[in-house]
Every structure is written in C-alpha cells, then in structure tokens.
C-alpha cells in the first residue's frame, strides 16, 4: 500500500537512505529544540470548523510574485538532492512542474541551475542565493540564474556562519565522491575542503560564504538584478522592515528548519507579528515544520501568502524520485483541500485569521 502521509515518508526514507545522508537532511542545530518546536507549535493552534457553507466548488490556486500556482505550497531550497536520488534536483523540478508550483533551487545543487530550469519545463524556478566572499562570483551566480530563466532570487540571510550541527560533525559529513556542486564548478568551489575532524559542509560555508554581507549589500544585490528578491531567514518584524527598506519584494519567515540557531522560536509563532508589520507592502512566506495540510491552512490564516516545504520533499525524492515528490505534494494538496472545506473556505483568498481560534494572530 502506498504511503499515507508525510510522516510515513520520513520513516520510510530513514530506512532507505545511508545514515549520513539521512542525518544531514533530518538534523538541526544544537539540541534540536527549534527543529522540534517548528513541528509542535502547529499542534497548539486550533482550527475553527465552519458548517453549512456551500463548499461544493473549491480552488486552491494562488498567485506568488505575480505567478499563478496551483496551490500555495512551494518547494523550499534544499542542498545536495543527489544524495536522495540519482536524478536529484531534476526529479524535484519535474515534480514541481507536474504539481503546478514553484521550485526554489539551492545554490548548492548537484545539478546546474540551467539543467534544473530545463527540467522544470516552463514552470517557475526561483534561485536561492548564497553569497560568496568573492563578490564577482556572487554576481556571476545572479546573472547565470537570470540568464537560465529563473524568475526570482531568494537571498538566504541566516547563514553567515553555519549552525552547530552535531550529527554532521559526528559523521564527518562529506558529499559522496560522485556528486559535486555543479553551479560552482567553474569557480573551483564544487567540493568540500578537507576537514578530517569536522562536517565538510561547515568547513565549506565558514571558509567561502561572505559573513560581512549586510543590508547595504542587499541594496547592491537589488541594483545588479532586475529579478525580484525575497529575503529568506527573517524572524522578527525589525528585520522584515529593514529587508523592505533595502529593496526586498518579500520575505520568508524561516529559521532554516532549526538548522542554524537553536532555541529560536518556531516560525509559526513569529509569523503573525511579522505579517502584521509587513501588511500589504510585500509578500510574506513561511517555512519550517509543515507536514500536514492543516499546517498549511494555519500558516495561511496567520498571514503567509504561501508556504515552503523542505525535508518532506527530500523524503519523497528518496523513496521514489519524481513520483515520490509529486505524491508528497499531492498528499499535502488533498489535506489542504479537505481542511479548507471543513473550515468553510472555497478559495485561498477566503482564508483569514478567523479560520483559527484566537490566541494567536
């Protein structure tokens, strides 16, 4: 029998993947408190069912950065998808296309951004940007993404240094030898450095990423591209306001899936305050811990335009490549559809904070 929900996908993926890969995908920083809170915070929020509403016709379609998607559920950028499946990011891009939604491709992908955009077959791909100390390289990545056909940049700002991920340190995490970070091939940064006592990724990030990047550099980034820039990794209203002042078209409320700074709040707990501060000025997205359609509905109710899904995509990919990712998206879509119907909502626009009991938002 096929898997029934995203939790079952995780269990099956844990059995299938090499332990080092599973740990890298599943793990978080420190004691993994934030990783767990991201999930559990959703359970504390209670939906308000509404009855005797005509819900016979329903639509989940939404518009993100001016682009129509079949549902407000997007694929979060996650690195090294080639560890989950030989077709890696290409399988994910095909599944996102089949699901009618956006894939956000990581800078640290195991296929190139050109290959990924091609696999997406006309569906929107956004490029997640990590900024390298080598400013020309950073600029070259931006230009390449635009030339490849990406329709937005997602600048990740919560990783000037890498969080302390003890699973990866313990495993001396390394990329399997047959995989490279293809976007970085020309620059010679396609492999981890030698790091016998550490996570190779941690050594890579701490050597190469630009930890001096500030709001001033966001101005610079916006000045060198015509693509809209989303800033990913915002956890408070003050930083959301700064992002907008410096040219962002939107923000992603994210704690990097609990992988950077442990003991920061669950994203869903800070979303209402940030969404209220941003108002109609820009688009607000959220990720972290979402594994049920009811979670998606709660995030929309509390102010998100759409949500991003990280790890569950990797579990789908590990189990059955493109079909697995598509099935994960379909499960979430069906669950969201049911939850909306039972809350009396027939469209995404109809979802608002009245869908949850008060106490939050």
Each residue 265-304 as x (binds ligand FNR by CB under 6 A) or -, in order, gives: ----------------------xxxx--------------
Q: Which residues contact 201 (CB under 8 A, 6 or more apart)?
A: 24, 79, 162, 168, 173, 192
Residue 316 · residue 87 · CB < 8 Å: no
Binding mask 202-241 for ligand FNR (x = CB under 6 A): ------------------------------x---------
Q: Give yes or no for residue 83 binding ligand FNR (CB under 6 A).
A: no
Fill in the per-residue mask, 123 to 152: x = in contact with ligand FNR (CB under 6 A), - = not in contact. Answer: -----x------------------------
Binding ligand FNR by CB under 6 A: which of 34, 110, 138, 156?
Answer: 156
CB burial of 50-74 (b: ≥16 within 10 Å; e: otherwise) equals eeeeebeeeebebebbeeebbbbbb
Name the minimum Å distance from CB 201 to ligand LAC. 6
Compare residues 78 and 151 and give the one whose CB is closer to ligand FNR.
Answer: 78
What is d(CA 35, CA 27) in angstroms, rounded to the nearest whole number?
Answer: 8
Whole-angstrom distance, CA of residue 132 vs CA of residue 108: 12
Q: How far is the CB of 260 from ligand LAC (least distance, A)?
A: 8
> Is the distance from CB of 317 to CB of 324 less than 8 angstroms?
yes
The CA–CA distances, whole Å, from 89 to 39, 62, 137, 294, 320 equal 25, 24, 22, 27, 13
Q: How far is the CB of 192 from ligand LAC (least distance, A)?
A: 11
Active site residues: 256
Q: Using CB under 6 A as the criterion, which residues of the chain lie in contact with ligand LAC when the complex forms?
A: 79, 108, 159, 256, 259
Smallest separation, CB 256 to ligand FNR (Å): 5
Tokens of 204: 């890579």
What does DSSP say about strands 283-287 and 67-69: parallel, antiparallel, or unpaired? unpaired
Residue whose CB is nearest to ligand LAC in the complex, by number: 79
Site string (28-57) toward ligand FNR, x via CB under 6 A? ----------x-------------------
Q: What does DSSP assign to residue 132?
A: B
Near ligand FNR by CB under 6 A: residue from 62, 69, 76, 125: 76
Name the residue number minimizing CB distance to ligand FNR.
310
CA atoms of 70 and 72, how far apart (whole Å):
7
Closer to ligand LAC at the Cβ: 157 or 319? Answer: 157
DSSP one-letter string for 65-122: TTEEESSSEEEPP-S-GGGT-TTHHHHHHHHHHHHT--EEEPTT-SS-HHHHHHHTTT
Closest approach, Cβ 104 to ligand LAC, in A, equals: 12
Contact residues toward ligand FNR (CB under 6 A) are 24-25, 38, 76-79, 106, 108, 128, 156, 232, 254, 256-257, 259, 287-290, 309-311
């Amino acid at each position: 029998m096929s898997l029934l929900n995203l939790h079952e996908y995780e269990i099956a993926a844990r059995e299938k993947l090499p332990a080092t890969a599973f740990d890298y995908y599943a793990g978080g920083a420190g004691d993994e408190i934030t990783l767990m809170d991201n999930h559990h915070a959703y359970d504390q929020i209670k939906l308000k069912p509404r009855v005797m509403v005509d819900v016979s016709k329903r639509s989940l379609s939404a518009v993100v950065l001016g682009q129509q998607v079949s549902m407000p559920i997007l694929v979060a950028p996650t690195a090294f998808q080639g560890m989950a499946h030989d077709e890696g990011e290409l399988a994910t891009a095909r599944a996102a296309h089949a699901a009618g939604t956006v894939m956000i491709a990581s800078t640290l992908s195991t296929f190139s951004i050109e290959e990924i955009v091609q696999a997406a077959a006309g569906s929107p791909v956004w490029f997640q940007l990590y900024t390298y100390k080598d400013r020309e390289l950073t600029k070259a990545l931006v230009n390449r993404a635009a030339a490849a056909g990406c329709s937005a940049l997602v600048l990740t700002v919560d990783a000037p240094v890498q969080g302390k991920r003890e699973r990866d340190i313990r495993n001396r995490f390394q990329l399997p030898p047959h995989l490279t970070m293809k976007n970085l091939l020309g620059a010679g940064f396609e492999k981890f450095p030698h790091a016998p006592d550490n996570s190779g990724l941690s050594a890579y990030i701490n050597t190469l990423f630009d930890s001096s990047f500030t709001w001033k550099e966001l101005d610079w980034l916006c000045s060198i591209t015509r693509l809209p820039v989303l800033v990913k990794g915002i956890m408070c209203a003050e930083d959301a306001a700064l992002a907008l002042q410096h040219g962002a078209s939107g923000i992603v409320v994210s704690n990097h899936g609990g992988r950077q700074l442990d003991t920061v709040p669950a994203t869903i707990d800070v979303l209402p305050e940030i969404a209220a501060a941003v108002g109609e000025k820009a688009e607000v997205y959220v990720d972290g811990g979402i594994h049920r359609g009811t979670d998606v509905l709660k995030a929309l109710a509390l102010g998100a335009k759409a949500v991003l899904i990280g790890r569950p995509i990797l579990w789908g990919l590990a189990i059955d490549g493109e079909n697995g990712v598509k099935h994960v998206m379909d499960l979430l879509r069906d669950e969201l559809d049911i939850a909306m119907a039972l809350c009396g909502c027939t469209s995404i626009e109809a979802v608002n904070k009245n869908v949850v009991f008060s106490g939050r938002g």
